[in-house]
Every structure is written in C-alpha cells, then in structure tokens.
Amino acid sequence: MKFLCQVWFDSAEIATLTEDEGRRLTQESIDNDNRLRDSGHLIVANALREPETARTVRVRKSEATVTDGPFAEIKEHLGGFVLIEAKDIDEATRIAATFPVARYGMIEVRAAYDIRFPDE
C-alpha cells in the first residue's frame, strides 16, 4: 500500500534552528531517505518552499482566481511530503517516526489510493 506522509512544521520552532543545525537536519533527512529507498519503502520525497511563495487557485463557474500565499494563515505549514510503500498503516507510522524532521513538527500519515472507474 502507498502512504502519503505530510511533513508539517511549526513555523516558530523551525525558525529557531541555526544554520549548522539546519544543515545537519538536511543531511540526516537525506541519509534517512537513502535508507528508505534502499529498503524499498521510499517512492518519492520532496521538500516544499515557504508558504509565502505559494499561489492558491480556485475555479468557480469556469473562472480561475489566483491569490498569492497559502490558503490559510496557520501556525504550522506543510514543509514537504514523502510517498512510501508499506504493508499497513502501522508499518507506515513506524517509518514516519524515523523522519528526522519529526523532531521539529509532525508527520501526518494517510493511505493513498488510485482513483479508477469500477469497470477498469
């Protein structure tokens, strides 16, 4: 089964990291990704730019509206995502607990599935 692990950061907490701590965290995350890739669990992992760089798109009555920034002003922000393969939610949760970034935020683990029509 595929599981999406959403990496949520507390903006204030992550901002307290020194440059060296940030580099160390990045290297630990790369090392962990490589370990998960080698074990066959990692499908893809990506970090996301800061929420201020986002654009929010809405389509209503065939009209697209684009606004700068995130949809909502919240204390936490989505900092990245990791798509993994695991046998069940328990294994996926154990894998998410190995993410070094979990020390500075939280990891939301959610099962993913393919959308298909019934006759496919």
The per-residue pLDDT string of the chain (120 residues; one tens digit each, 9 = 90 and over) reads 999 999 998 878 888 999 999 999 999 999 999 999 999 999 999 999 988 898 989 999 999 999 987 766 667 788 999 999 999 999 999 999 999 999 988 999 999 998 888 776
Specify the CATH number for the domain of residue 85.
Answer: 3.30.70.1060
Per-residue b or e along 32-63, where b marks 16 or more CB atoms closer than 10 Å to that residue's CB = bbeebeeeebbeebeeeeebeebeeeeeeeee
Give residue 84's domain range.
2-112
Answer whether residue 119 is part of any domain: no
Q: How many domains, in total, are found in the chain?
A: 1
Q: Output the CA torsion 25→31→32→34 (10° steps).
A: 150
- 18, 105 contact by CB (below 8 A): no
Answer whether residue 24 is part of any domain: yes
Task: Please give the model's pTM, rounded to 2 decimal places.
Answer: 0.85
120: helix, strand or coil: coil
Answer whether residue 67 is part of any domain: yes
